[in-house]
Structure 1
Amino acid sequence: MTSVAVTQNNKIHPHKFTLWVAIGSILMMFAGLTSAYIVKRNQANWTSFEIPVLFWVSTAVIIMSSLVLMAANKAFKERAIGKYRNLMLITMVLGVLFIVLQTIGFKQLWDMGLTLQKNVAYSFLYVIVGLHALHVIGGVIALIVMSLKAFSNKTRVYTAVPLQVLSTYWHFVDVLWIYLLIFLVLIK
């Protein structure tokens, strides 16, 4: 009787690995920006500002989107396709709503006179929040693609990897936003 050794493949999927490298890079970028913000804040020409209320509302929206995406993952694993499709659509709409609320919040700041040229503090605010918004837009594009795939009638191989990668990224931009908002509120 021969014994066959079963080896388990414990390697991380290449897409997941690439995402983690990207997340590491993004974290370093925001660490550098927030560090520069702290250093510049101690200069005499620094002017503090108030965060628009809509930024708090958008925070609730992006947190809800992460919770809905978690439910979508669960539905996908259970192969509840109808539920999965609806939850992906809701997540996508919440992602778009986050961007809309952020845009309106930026407009409120601009209308209050907080322009890029007026003070370095405002420039930092626009750069930090604007770069985060670009990453959220990338996530929303991925949500749109995944939602379209969810509603597609094409038969394909059942794999959770794309949804796992998207979910990890989306939760990352969610947590990053919460960090940035708390940072901007506490470090005026």
Structure 2
Amino acid sequence: MSAVNTPKRPLSMHPKKFAMWLFIVSVVMIFAALTSAYIVRQAEGNWYMFELPNILYASTVVILVSSLTMHWAYLGAKKDNMSQLKSAITLTSILGFVFLFLQVKGWGELVDINVYFVGNPSGSFVYVLTGLHGVHIISGIIYLAIILVESYRNKINSSSIVRMEMCANYWHFLGGLWVYLFVFLLLNR
């Protein structure tokens, strides 16, 4: 009696998911380079010390709550609960806009304490890090809008969930990235 050797199935990933993860890795590399540059430049001296605006604490809470609503949307899609999916994606989008609004208000508070984009590099880094993250949040909100439109066209459901998973992963990544940046800035003033 001979045993039939069946080849093992190779690990595979949806091509669009793979592309998204490559994009996320490139974003991680950009922010790793920027935070490394921050540390190197800070060590050179001539570094203006200032408190981060308190509103950034609120924006951190908002982005964390939006991650919860994003997960709620994902669960809705997974259970074919279109009402839950649409409500949660809408709420996540609103929270994304609130996060951006709070970030802009934070920039205004920086200006109030004489921390500008041009001037001391400590302020410049804060504007660059938060601004670049804000650009990615805008891309995430656009992605949320696409998912919302697709949910109204009944193209997002438990049997067609790849785009929803990608959107959820990207949004959670953006939330985690903000927490990293905020903690980094708090610890490296």
What's the TM-score, normalizing by structure 1? 0.91
The answer (yes or no) to whether the contact 2:80–2:157 under 8 Å persists in 1 is no
In structure 2, stretches of 5+ residues that fail to align are none
For the residues of structure 2 that align with 1:48 and 1:18, how far apart are their CA atoms? 40
Q: Percent identity?
A: 36
How far has the Cα of 1:9 moved from its partner? 7.1
The answer (yes or no) to whether the contact 2:78–2:157 under 8 Å persists in 1 is no
**Match in the other structure for 1:90:** 91
For the residues of structure 2 that align with 1:155 and 1:13, how far apart are their CA atoms? 16
The answer (yes or no) to whether the contact 1:92–1:147 under 8 Å persists in 2 is no
1:5-84 alignment to 2 at 5 Å?
A: 10-84=11-85
Q: Summarize deviations over 1:27-58 as a string: whole Å, max 9, x none.
A: 11111100110011122311112111111101
Q: Which AA in structure 1 matches 2:171?
A: W
For the residues of structure 2 that align with 1:66 and 1:7, how far apart are their CA atoms? 36
For the residues of structure 2 that align with 1:157 and 1:57, how far apart are their CA atoms? 34
For the residues of structure 2 that align with 1:63 and 1:155, how far apart are their CA atoms? 24
Task: Output the aligned Cα RMSD.
Answer: 2.1
How far has the Cα of 1:59 moved from its partner? 0.6
For the residues of structure 1 that align with 2:94 and 2:10, how far apart are their CA atoms? 37
Q: Which AA in structure 1 matches 2:178?
A: W
The answer (yes or no) to whether the contact 1:66–1:174 under 8 Å persists in 2 is yes
> Is 2:121 the partner of 1:117?
no
Q: Which AA in structure 1 matches 2:104?
A: T
In structure 1, stretches of 5+ residues that fail to align are none
How far has the Cα of 1:98 moved from its partner? 0.6
Q: Which AA in structure 1 matches 2:72?
A: A
Moved over 2 A (4+): 5-10, 151-158
For the residues of structure 2 that align with 1:168 and 1:75, how far apart are their CA atoms? 15
Which deviates more, 162-171 or 113-122? 113-122
Q: In structure 2, do the counterparts of structure 1 residues 6 and 69 end up closer, same or farther at CA, with 3 Å as the change threshold? A: farther
Q: Which AA in structure 2 matches 1:148?
A: V
For the residues of structure 2 that align with 1:138 and 1:49, how far apart are their CA atoms? 30
Q: How many residues align?
A: 185
What's the TM-score, normalizing by structure 2? 0.90
How far has the Cα of 1:156 moved from its partner? 9.0
